[in-house]
């Protein structure tokens, strides 16, 4: 059965936070299920989120809800097991909208993921994400 794989023991990192204001725009807001909070990156050519899971997972879907005008036209998901280097799993192409978007992922067993957002719709390269979900199964 597919369910959200991000748990309290999952370690997350992000490329940047707008004005370093982690209280208002920090990474914790990616996973809090609150419609009023978000991760807001600072400017830059690409933005990313890494996730280190406490155990191996089998990813099947990625769900992202951007703020329209602050999304990405192209992104890619990379993963690895243990200390192996990251390798590309899939490219995805989000729409510039406020709706929750689901991207199928070829089944991959990993314990580390990196989601990279390229070619942002914002002139300055900022990304705003209200929800980021990794769906699949624990192995």
Q: What is the pLDDT of residues 113-135, one digit of tens each?
A: 999 999 999 999 999 999 999 99
Specify the CATH number of the domain 11-138: 2.60.120.260
* pLDDT tens-digit series, residues 2-59: 789 999 999 999 999 998 989 899 999 999 999 999 999 999 989 999 999 999 999 9
Statement: residue 1 has pLDDT above 70: no
Question: Could you state, in order of their start, the residue ranges of all structural domains in the chain?
Answer: 11-138
- Helix (H) or strand (E) segment spanning residue 91: strand 87-92
Q: What's the confidence (pLDDT) of residue 90?
A: 98
pLDDT tens for residues 48-104? 999 999 999 999 999 999 999 999 999 999 999 999 999 999 999 999 999 999 999
Token pair of 40 as six digits: 């807001």
Kind and range of the H or E run holding 132: strand 128-138
pLDDT value, residue 3: 87
């Amino acid at each position: 059965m597919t369910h959200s794989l991000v748990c309290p023991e999952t370690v997350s990192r992000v490329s940047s936070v707008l004005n370093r204001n982690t209280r208002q725009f920090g990474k914790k807001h990616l996973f809090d299920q609150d419609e009023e909070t978000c991760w807001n990156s600072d400017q830059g050519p690409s933005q990313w989120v890494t996730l280190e899971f406490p155990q191996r997972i089998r990813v099947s879907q990625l769900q992202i809800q951007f703020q329209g005008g602050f999304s990405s036209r192209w992104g890619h998901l990379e993963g690895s097991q243990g200390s192996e280097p990251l390798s590309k799993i899939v490219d995805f192409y989000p729409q510039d909208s406020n709706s929750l978007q689901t991207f199928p992922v070829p089944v991959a067993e990993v314990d580390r993921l990196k989601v990279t957002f390229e070619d942002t719709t914002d002139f300055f390269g900022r990304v705003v994400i209200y929800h980021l979900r990794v769906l699949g199964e624990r192995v």
